[in-house]
Amino acid sequence: MSAQAETTSGAAEQVVVRNGVSIDPTFAEAFPMKATRVLITAHNDIWARNAAVAMTGFATSVIACGCEAGIERMLSPDETPDGRPGVAVLLFSMSGKELAKQLERRVGQCVLTCPTTAVYAGLDDGEAVALGKNLRFFGDGWQISKMIDGKRYWRVPVMDGEFVAQETTAVMKAVGGGNLLLLARDTDAALAGAEAAVEAMRAVPGVIMPFPGGVVRSGSKVGSKYASLMASTNDAFCPALIPLAKKTELDAGTRCVMEIVIDGLTEADVSAAMRAGIEAIVARGGDAGVTRISAGNYGGKLGPFHFHLHKLLGAEASI
């Protein structure tokens, strides 16, 4: 890859180099989604996490999982409604209806079933969707409703006592599909850089990185030569295809690329997370092996949210 990169409009823009890391003059393109936050508490943080991990399993991409979900952060007892340790979980989907379906299934199968847990709404404002509203029927008539401070809770008798679930949670408009592409000299360097970036991004509230460990190695493009597939491998960023693909974004020194996908409750949250990720890579320096940062987009025609890497860095004026 040269020091020049083509923008989507065809105009040439300069690459910014920071501490030996090149940052492409491009942007990540993201889409509107619907999101909710739920708070899971339990007897201790181990069981709260067990429930959250189960609930956010198989939720890497809306392409086939129905939703994208992840642990936002752990909660200390003084941050939860019932004073126990907890976990904040974010769920994103393409529609409020699908989100409601996924939420009910996942809470029903993964939180209701997990010892000692309780589940609460993590958002106050927005359209209400069922949380414990329908799960209460598991109680077979023994369930009890309790209104406390204007919020309705359901108490379902279970074998370890009772499962407490707030009746509804709120759904808000959100942003999905922010992303960073980390181009590295080899697998070790790519993994180490991606891990550092994800760790920094996890400190940002309101976002999740839904893929395993926050990282995806199978970045995709829209469409495929096979009519039945809606997405296929991002050949322009596959090192194996440098000499073969019609168009490649890589040079011969790039032998491994990792992508970090970010879903956030707001555009500002996604921006903050992407900025944190870029800064973490830059702080490590190009010598650590991640030599270039890029981002995926569809020419700016599909998603209304454009996260320009240089703007995130505040680098436009210093090129």
Partner 1 sequence: MSAAQGFRLRLRAQPDFRVDLSPLQPAVLAGRDVGEVARLELRHANAHVELGELFDVDALPSEAPELRIEGDLRRFDRIGQGMDGGRLSVTGEVGDYLGAAMRAGEIVVDGSAGHLAACEMAGGRLEVLGDVGDFAAGALPGSMDGMRGGTLVVRGNAGARFGDRMRRGTVLLLGDAGDFCASRMVAGTIALAGRVGAHCGYGMRRGTLVFGGSAPDVPATFAETSHDIRVMWALLSRSLGKLHPAFEGRPARAPRRVVGDLAADGKGEWLIAG
62 to 81: interface string for partner 1, x by CB under 8 A? -------------------x
Of 253, 230, 229, 249, the C-alpha closest to 238 is 249
Among the listed ranges 82-90, 98-106, 172-180, 272-280, the one in contact with partner 1 (CB under 8 A) is 82-90
> What are the backbone dihedrals phi and psi of residue 209, each rounded to the nearest 5 degrees, phi first?
-115, 100
Based on the shown chain and the rule CB under 8 A, indicate whether residue 153 belongs to the binding site for partner 1. Answer: yes
Based on the shown chain and the rule CB under 8 A, indicate whether residue 115 belongs to the binding site for partner 1. Answer: no
Q: What's the min distance (Å) between Cβ of 271 and partner 1?
A: 36
Among the listed ranges 130-138, 144-152, 184-192, 252-260, the one in contact with partner 1 (CB under 8 A) is 144-152
Q: What's the min distance (Å) between Cβ of 110 and partner 1?
A: 18
Among the listed ranges 92-100, 138-146, 180-188, 241-249, the one in contact with partner 1 (CB under 8 A) is 138-146
CA distance 297 to 282: 22
How many C-beta neighbours within 10 Å does residue 95 have? 12
User: CA distances (Å), 131 to each of 31, 39, 152, in order?
Assistant: 25, 11, 11
Based on the shown chain and the rule CB under 8 A, indicate whether residue 132 belongs to the binding site for partner 1. Answer: no
Dihedral-angle region of residue 177 (phi above 0 means left; psi in -120 to 50 means alpha; beta otherwise): left
> What are the backbone dihedrals phi and psi of residue 268, each rounded to the nearest 5 degrees, phi first?
-65, -35
Q: Which of 83, 213, 223, 253 binds partner 1 (CB under 8 A)?
A: 83
**Residue placing its CB nearer to partner 1 in the complex, 125 or 149:** 149
Dihedral-angle region of residue 247 (phi above 0 means left; psi in -120 to 50 means alpha; beta otherwise): beta
Based on the shown chain and the rule CB under 8 A, indicate whether residue 148 belongs to the binding site for partner 1. Answer: yes
Among the listed ranges 22-30, 55-63, 161-169, 284-292, the one in contact with partner 1 (CB under 8 A) is 161-169
Strand stretches in the chain, DSSP E? 4-6, 12-14, 16-18, 21-23, 27-41, 68-75, 86-93, 118-121, 127-130, 144-148, 151-158, 161-166, 168-184, 207-208, 220-222, 231-233, 256-264, 290-294, 305-308
Based on the shown chain and the rule CB under 8 A, indicate whether residue 223 belongs to the binding site for partner 1. Answer: no
CA distance 121 to 151: 10
Based on the shown chain and the rule CB under 8 A, indicate whether residue 50 belongs to the binding site for partner 1. Answer: no
User: Token pair of 179, please?
Assistant: 């992303």
Q: What's the min distance (Å) between Cβ of 85 and partner 1?
A: 12
Among the listed ranges 126-134, 158-166, 185-193, 205-213, the one in contact with partner 1 (CB under 8 A) is 158-166
Based on the shown chain and the rule CB under 8 A, indicate whether residue 46 belongs to the binding site for partner 1. Answer: no
Q: Which of 19, 76, 113, 145 binds partner 1 (CB under 8 A)?
A: 145
Q: Which of 11, 12, 64, 147 binds partner 1 (CB under 8 A)?
A: 147
Tell me if residue 154 falls in helix, strand or coil: strand
**Which positions touch partner 1 (CB under 8 A)?**
41, 81-84, 118, 142, 144-149, 153, 155, 157, 160-162, 164
